[in-house]
Amino acid sequence: MRKVIKTGLPDGSAPVEWATVGGKTLYTASIPIYADGSIETGDIATQTELTLRNLRQTIEAAGGTMDDYTQLQVILTDKAYFEGMNEVYRTFFSTPFPNRATIIADLMVPGAKIEIIANAYLEQ
C-alpha cells in the first residue's frame, strides 16, 4: 500500500505525488521548484542546489535523513552540466555515497536543467 508523504512542495496539475512510501522504501523525484510553484531557471549549480534541498525536505518529511538515500538517477539536459552538478551534489552527501546514474535527456518542465529520481530506505 502506498502512503503519500506531504513534502511542502506545491501540488501540480499532473496526476503524481512528490513522494510515496511503500514498505520501508521512499520513492521520490524532484526538480528545481520553489514552494510557490515557480521554477529556478538559473545555472546548473543553482538548480542542483534547489533540487537537492527539495530532496532533503522530502526525506525529512518522511522521517529520514540524506544518509537514507540509497539510489539516485540524475537527469540533465546537457552533458556540459555534469561537472557543475557534481560540485554541488557532493556537498549534500557523505561517503559512502548513494548509488547513482546520470542520464542526458529532455525534461518536461520548461527551464529546468535537472531532475533527480531518488529512493531511500527508511528504518522506521
pLDDT tens for 66-103 read 999 999 999 999 999 999 999 999 999 999 999 999 99
pLDDT tens for 36-65 read 999 999 999 999 999 999 999 999 999 999
- For the chain, domains (ranges, CATH) are 2-121 (3.30.1330.40)
122 alpha-carbon distance from chain centroid: 16
Does pLDDT of 19 surpass 80? Answer: yes
Identify the band that residue 13 occupies on the pLDDT scale cut at 50, 70 and 90. confident
Does pLDDT of 106 surpass 90? Answer: yes
| Separation CA 24–CA 22 (nearest Å) | 6
pLDDT score at 9:
84
* C-alpha distances out from residue 58 to 2, 14, 84, 113, Å: 16, 18, 23, 20
117 alpha-carbon distance from chain centroid: 6
Taking Cα atoms as reference points, which of 51, 116, 48, 57 lies closest to residue 86? 48
pLDDT score at 109:
93
Query: 75 is written with which cell numbers?
Result: 537527469
pLDDT score at 123:
87
Does pLDDT of 124 surpass 90? Answer: no
Q: What is the number of other CB atoms lying within 10 angstroms of the CB of residue 106?
A: 7
pTM above 0.85, yes or no: yes
The dihedral over CA atoms of 106, 107, 113, 118, expressed in degrees to the nearest 10, equals -120
Identify the band that residue 11 occupies on the pLDDT scale cut at 50, 70 and 90. confident
